[in-house]
Amino acid sequence: MSFVFDASKPIAIGCDHAGIEYKNAVKKWLESKGYNVKDFGTYNTESVDYPDFAHPTAASVETGEACFGILFCGSANGVAMTANKHAGIRAGLCWVTEVAELVRLHNDANMICIPARFVSLELAFEMIEKFMGTSFEGGRHQNRVNKITCA
């Protein structure tokens, strides 16, 4: 099933300690634009285990409670790996705007994972805007997306 942005549902957001500054800034930015954001933590800079926050964020997208998800950690690899363990989640690790566009356009990603230690906050905003504004292209990509899920 293709992900379609639904503004009537909240945007799920989560992070570990390395992503807290970005998560808080993005949450505030999205809320200033009128979006409802469901924050799954963490809520401070104390060292935490990223799966404790990536799993509930991904679960909210998986169940349809949230329209899509945003995850932050230092490299974004850990949160992306964790989120992608959930059936129906296609979490894309993004470090430039073009990748944020392609994970939507070609992979129908429903979560964006951003490496807070390697991109600027301004670039994070740009990638999220591009992610939210890009629709899945379908066509030849649909067959490939259909083959992602393991039975």
Instruction: Locate all alpha helices (DSSP H) within 13-139, ordered by sequence.
Output: 20-32, 51-62, 77-83, 97-105, 121-133
Return d(Cα 13, Cα 23) in angstroms, integer. 7
Active site residues: 73, 106
- Sequence-separated (6 or more) residues with CB below 8 Å from residue 127: 94, 96, 97, 99, 100, 112, 114, 119
Return d(Cα 91, Cα 77) in angstroms, integer. 10
